[in-house]
Structure formats: structure tokens, C-alpha cells
Amino acid sequence: MELIFERSKPGRYNQMIPDLDVPEVAIPEAFKRESELHLPEVSQPDISRHYTELAKQAHGVNDGFYPLGSCTMKYNPKINDEMAALPGFANLHPLQPLDTIQGALEVFTESEKLLGEITGMDHMTFQPAAGAHGEFTALLMFKAYHESRKDSKRHKIIVPDSAHGTNPASASMVGFEIVNVPSDEAGCVDLEALKAVVGEDTAGLMLTNPNTVGIFDKNITEITKIIHDAGGLNYYDGANLNPIMGVVRPGDMGFDIVHLNIHKTFSTPHGGGGPGCGPIGCKAFLKEFLPKFYPVATEKGVEFTTPSQTIGSVKGFYGHFLVLVRALTYILYLGKEGIPEAAHNAVLNANYMKHHLEDLYEVPYGGICMHEFVMSVEKIKKDTGVSALDVAKSILEHEMHPPTMYFPMIVPEALMVEPTETESKETLDEAIKVYRQIYEDAYKQPEKVHAAPANTPIRRVDEVGAARNPKIRYEFS
């Protein structure tokens, strides 16, 4: 494919704005740009074709099955996008007078009510831009909370070894020391190991439940109690909320703060990597530590307030508003009946796929899974040399996106499958057939699997070369 710069011809131009209707004013020499600005000079018809060509080489949920574990790639409803594009939302300046933005502020307060009920939390901030940003915000609140109580020794955050990489990275950004706790043979938190590491230096625990191997930790209330008894706080990583929404609430499990991945659980588009939206909910006792611009409904309408011990702001303005509009649309459409229905079917689909694959692909943490399950290709690799990467690359030949690879780190040669509730039984059956065929190929013709994919626009790429000699921009000659 040509780069847009390679389609460029000097002198091509698209007229978009009228001629200047006020007098010219010269820009002082001292501030004038010296270098030429190389941007594409391409006609509108060719721009349209360029991006259509790029779109053809982008696999989205819209194109086919996308069981990327931990990412909840469910269908993105189109009504959501239409609502977000309403001029009354999209064309609002963030610093308009309060009486001209009441509808927008109600999007915040209404979402807070709905998501607060779903998570069992009392208050929510919508400022964090993504899940990892929500983690960061919550940990700042942990820090501020302990400091407000003059409890300055609490500098350790406990994280299970199966956690998402963002957990330790977020904790580290807030200056916390990370204590890893091992998982037990069921893939859950080892209670004895947890008890051994808690103490007066425990700031809190970061946990996702169901965890990254797709198991709901049945000891959850005991786990959160151990932390609370030690004086720490419990943080719920909401990446895996999808299978339990409407069934069980983090707030009832003993968590004090939760983040949500709106773009996962609440159906907003992933956009090729973002924008996400990572609101956090907290219990009442943490309200005063929330970020600035906390919207509160009063008799005069909704107003922004500043919590008395606020941690400050983690970004400009109030969050990914248009993403939230989409989520609100989704929640209202599903309602109290549709939310648990989605969860149930996400779990049903995952178990159905697991059931039809676990005789071939080892599932190290068995039993009933939640929204996802993790398979290990370790034995297949020992037998045939075919790795998790090879299996994933073979799946690409079938117009399906592969599962998440090599995560969580506690499972060797891991493939993490999350079908989501919006996939039909036919799609699951088709995927099962493909996965089983690849298993057979691994034993009968491993060279075919090693060489996959054969029919994609490009074949496997040289990642080593890319990282050794980074070329990350086009060079104009």
C-alpha cells in the first residue's frame, strides 16, 4: 500500500474555507516557521480511496470474530455513535456557562447513578481517560486517603502475579512499592500468602475478579477483609466486569474503588486503540478525594464541585464525554433486564467454547469459567514445536482475530479466549472447528502452522529488525 505521502503531488489542494474577509496582518519574522511543512497534497477522491484501502486492511469486530481475552470486543451499537454525534453534545465548548450545559451535566449524573448501581459504588468521576488512567487516579486517592489519616507508613500495593501489567505500572507511578502474591493451584489468590504479606505498610490491594484466568475468586470477601483488617484499601480492576454485571457487585465484594473500562463492558468502540474511558467509582468515605469538576445535582441544576481533599485533575476538562454518551445509550437500551442477560451469555459462550476445546488444548485452570478462559499450548509446543504464536497466526487465515497471546504470564504459551455475548452459536461453532483443525495441523503438518498466515495481505513481520533500527516516520526526500 502506498503511504499518503506517496500519493502527494505539489499543487493539489482542497478548498474548505472562504477567502479572508478581514485585513491581512503580517506575522513577525521572529516567529515565522523556517522549515517547509510537508503534509500530503492529495485530492478528495484519492483521499477517500486511500483510507478505504487502509480500512480494508483493518480487522474490527465488524469484520469478524474477535475473541481477544481481557479486551471484551463486543458489538459496538450504531445508535451509540449517532447519539454521540448529536450537535447538542459534539459541538459544546467545555467552558460554556452552566445554564447552557445542563443536558451534558445530566449525562454525568445519570451515568453516575446507573454505573454506581451496577458496581455498588456511591460516587463516580468520569475524568480518567482509560482504564489505566483510572487505576492511576484511584491510587492517587489511596495515597491521599492514607496521608489524610497521617498513616504515612503505607507504601505497599499488593498485586497478584496474574494481574494486568497496568496494575504494577500504575502503582509505581504513584510511588508505591509492589508486592506480588502468588496464585494458588486454582488460579486464585493464595490466602495464606496474602496473609503473610499484609501489615502496617499495606496501602491496598489491586484485584480483578473474575481474574485474568477467567475464574471468579470465591474467597473474595475473605480477601478484601484481610486487606481491610490490615488497614488497607481494596481496588477493583474493572477490566473483567462484563460477566458479572447485574449478577454481583464489586461494592458488595468489599471493594472501595473500582474502575470501569467503558470501551469494553459498555460497548463503545475501541477505535484501533482508543479513545477509552475509565471512570472510577468509590465508596462514600472516599468522596472528598475525587478529582476536581465533580458534578452534583442541586435545586438550581447540576453544578461542578471541588471535593474538599481532591487529588487535583488527571487531565484537562471532565473526561471522554462523547464516549460516555455512548455508554449511557447502551445501558438505557439494555436496562435492568438486558445488563444481566449480557453477562449470562458472555459466560455461557465462553464455557461453550472451552468445553469444545479443552480435550485438545490444555486449560490449566479448569472448572466453570466466567467470560474468558486461558488455554496453554505448552504441551503442543513440546510435541510439535508449534507455539501459541503459531496457533494465533494460523487463526488469522480464517478471517478471525486470534485470542490474546502470552498473557497472563503465569500460564506458559497462553491463549486467552473471550468470545463475548454478542457472538452467535454459529460463530462459536465455526471458531471451534478452526481451532481444532489447527491442533490437527500442528501434529500432522507443523510446517504449515509455522508458516502461517499464508493468505493475509502481508505475512509475518520482522519485529526484531523494527526494534533494532527503528524507523518511525516517513522521510521526505
Binders of other proteins in range 136-195 (CB under 8 A): 136, 139-140, 143-144, 164-166, 168-175, 178
Judged by CB under 8 A, the residue of 202, 329, 376, 384 near other proteins is: 329
Q: Please name which of 225, 218, 227 lies closest in space to residue 200, comparing C-alpha atoms.
A: 227
- Are the C-beta atoms of residues 223 and 189 closer than 8 Å to each other? yes
Judged by CB under 8 A, the residue of 150, 152, 185, 273 near other proteins is: 273
Specify the residue, 182 or 443, whose C-beta has the smaller distance to other proteins. 182
Burial class (CB in 10 A: 0-12, 13-18, 19+), 473: exposed
Judged by CB under 8 A, the residue of 199, 275, 364, 446 near other proteins is: 275
Q: At what angle do helices 425-444 and 388-395 cross, to 10 degrees?
A: 130
What is the closest distance, in whole angstroms, from the C-beta atom of residue 99 to other proteins in the complex?
8
* Site for other proteins contains 366 (CB under 8 A): no
Specify the residue, 54 or 196, whose C-beta has the smaller distance to other proteins. 54
Specify the residue, 9 or 443, whose C-beta has the smaller distance to other proteins. 9
Binders in 29-48 for other proteins, by CB under 8 A: 31-42, 44, 47-48
Q: Which helix (H) or strand (E) holds 203?
A: strand 202-207
Neighbours of 234 (CB within 10 A): 25
Binders in 60-119 for other proteins, by CB under 8 A: 60-63, 66, 68, 71, 73-77, 79, 81-83, 85-97, 100-104, 106-107, 110, 113-114, 117-118
Judged by CB under 8 A, the residue of 181, 189, 194, 217 near other proteins is: 217
**What's the distance, Cα to Cα, between the start and end of the chain in Å?**
19
* Site for other proteins contains 223 (CB under 8 A): no
3-state SS assignment for residue 223: helix
Count residues binding other proteins (CB under 8 A): 204
Binders in 430-449 for other proteins, by CB under 8 A: none
Specify the residue, 238 or 291, whose C-beta has the smaller distance to other proteins. 291
Give the pairing of strands 123-125 and 280-282.
antiparallel
Neighbours of 389 (CB within 10 A): 18
Specify the residue, 59 or 287, whose C-beta has the smaller distance to other proteins. 59
DSSP symbols for 332-346: HHHHHHHHHHHHHHH
Give the pairing of strands 177-181 and 156-160.
parallel
Judged by CB under 8 A, the residue of 270, 327, 361, 381 near other proteins is: 270
* Site for other proteins contains 284 (CB under 8 A): no
Q: What residues contact 312, with CB distance under 8 A and at least 6 apart?
A: 140, 291, 292
Q: Please name which of 222, 227, 211 lies closest in space to residue 157, comparing C-alpha atoms.
A: 227
3-state SS assignment for residue 160: strand
Judged by CB under 8 A, the residue of 228, 297, 340, 362 near other proteins is: 340
Stretch 394-423: interaction string toward other proteins, x if CB under 8 A: --x----xx-xxxx-------------xxx
